[in-house]
Amino acid sequence: SSDVCSSDLMYIVNASLDEAASQKVMDSLHKIITDHEGTIDNVDDWGVKEFAYEIKHMNKGHYVVINVTANNEGIHEFERLARINPNVVRYMVVKTEAEK
């Protein structure tokens, strides 16, 4: 549909999770996009970084940036589920570009 676009989504996973649990959070977030007929085009795992200031009583988090091709519905659902996921410290849509 015409509302498909390329977006960069950044999210921060609770750094105290072990690798398997962290991967499970990542997979579940990525699945939201693919369940809505989108694709995960690139995953840039930045690993654990210190925060400039404390967020939710934590001072570091596991940063991941994904580039996706998705429709509005997929992006909105990603935001909704990221917001309520207790292991997602923060998330944001970094940029969105309409398909040419």
Contact 43, 62 (CB under 8 A): no
Q: Give per-residue pLDDT as tens, 67-100.
A: 999 999 999 999 999 999 999 999 999 888 876 5
Q: Give per-residue pLDDT as tens, 8-64.
A: 999 999 999 999 999 999 999 999 999 999 999 999 999 999 999 999 899 999 999
- 3-state secondary structure labels for all residues of 41-73: EEEEEEEEEEEEEEECCEEEEEEEEEEEEECHH
**How high is the pLDDT of residue 60?**
97
**How high is the pLDDT of residue 97?**
84
**How high is the pLDDT of residue 2?**
53
Which one-letter DSSP state was computed for residue 78?
H
Q: Dihedrals φ, ψ of 56, to 5°?
A: 50, 45
**How high is the pLDDT of residue 95?**
85
What are the angstrom distances between the C-alpha of 30 and each of 75, 76, 80, 81?
11, 13, 13, 11
